[in-house]
Copies of this chain bind each other. A is one copy, B any other.
Amino acid sequence: MKAEIVSIGTEMLLGQTLNTNSAYLSRKLAESGIDTFHHSTVGDNKDRLYQAIKIALERSDMVITTGGLGPTIDDITLQAIARISKKPLVFKKEILELIEGHFHKRSIRMPKNNIRQAYIPKGAIWLKNAIGTAPGLIIKAEKKYLIALPGPPREMIPMFEKRVLPYFKKRIKQGSVILSRTLKTTGLAESQIHDRVSRFLRLAKHTTVGIYAHPCQIDLRITSKAANISLAKKNIDVVERAIRKKLGNLIFGSDNQTLEGVVAGLLAPRTIAIAESCTGGLITSRLTDIAGVSKNLLLSIVAYSNKSKTQLLGIQDKTLKQFGAVSKEIARYMAVNIRHVSRADIGISTTGIAGPGGATDKKPVGLVYIGLSTKQKTTVKKLLLTGTRGMIKYKASQAALDMLKHHLSK
């Protein structure tokens, strides 16, 4: 079964709205063993919409349209579908009652326009909209399926999950399913990851591995096509084991895990305190995104100015002058002293030049030191990062969290 998503709306063709429906629907279809081979987007134009649905029905078995079901004259999906399926639009009293009820609940008088939404192509199955007024449709014609769904994701998603998916799960002999798992790494560049795993990319039949680069994070996505979910999982497991053997603790997590979530999970029962300079609170903010971290995060100081480094972290003026605020030594003092001040088990610090200003001959934008101090040992890592101010902040926070993760998982 080949599916195609036709997204309808001029706002997408103007680049004002991102098309998230197509990605969502394709992912859900893939999980149900239905391949999507095309996405197309057209505006609110009768002829182009008609042609787009026609092309879609010629090359695909299932065509899902999203959008164009609203009450205004710009909404023309129903007319296009009526024309293609050669069925007249017929009035459905039940639909009008639902729409009237929708407005009644909100104490608003129903605008006249909404009556249009109660006309649907003859013989179509209509789908109740739990959130808005536009009903959805399923039309079966000559072994092909045409499904019309509303455009707003908050209306489309529940309708698709509650009505469309069950409809097809009953009717379609499941072919193969497509399943993915993502392994997340940090600390190496894309090409380095590629070199290490390239031999393991095709260990199981119909299983592929894609490499996706994010700032300071390389993801490996293992995708398997198999007869059923449990088989797909087994295939993915084989490849995952091989990759984990090769990359070890460069992999910090999988799927929806985040580096800060992994760090927060490893932290307890130890306590931590943070002294941030160039990262400007970002490490702390990322860690506090994780619920429950308040028990272990005793204190964080954004010691942006030299004065705060002196005043709160007890670093002497002459020390700051001797080494400069951005130096290995100051990173060390910051990590040690924040640990002492807070009496935490671990102290972590950053100092660097996030740019675009602030560089000197010897200290370029992107120079960052990260300190990690425990009762046993204090280490400082030097980084040379590239990118915008925001990117350098983010990369430095990622490196600090990674340093923490390695320390905590020892």
Contacts and interface: CB of A to CB of B under 8 A. Distances in A.
Interface residues of A, number: 81
Given A26-B15, A302-B284, A393 B289 contact: yes
B289 A299 contact: no
B52 A42 contact: no
Contacts of A393: 285, 288-289
Contacts of A45: 37
A2 to B, nearest CB: 10
B312 A305 contact: no
A193 interface: no
A22 B38 contact: no
A13 B59 CA distance: 15
Contact of A15 (B24, B59, B210, B279): B24
A28 interface: yes
Nearest to A20: B18
Interface string A296-317: 0111111111011001100000
Interface in A32-67: 35-43, 45, 48, 51-52, 55, 59
A191 interface: yes
A16 interface: yes
Given A38-B52, A289-B390, A308-B299, A15 B19 contact: no
A183 interface: no
B23 A36 contact: no
Copies, count: 2
Contact of A299 (B13, B178, B304, B341): B304
B223 A14 contact: yes
A358 to B, nearest CB: 8
A364 to B, nearest CB: 15
B30 A14 contact: yes
A29 B35 CA distance: 31
A42 B48 contact: no
A356 B292 CA distance: 9
Given A15-B29, A288-B354, 6 more contacts: A7-B39, A19-B23, A38-B42, A281-B285, A288-B393, A299-B308
Closest 6 CB pairs of A and B: A280-B288, A15-B27, A281-B284, A281-B281, A15-B26, A39-B41
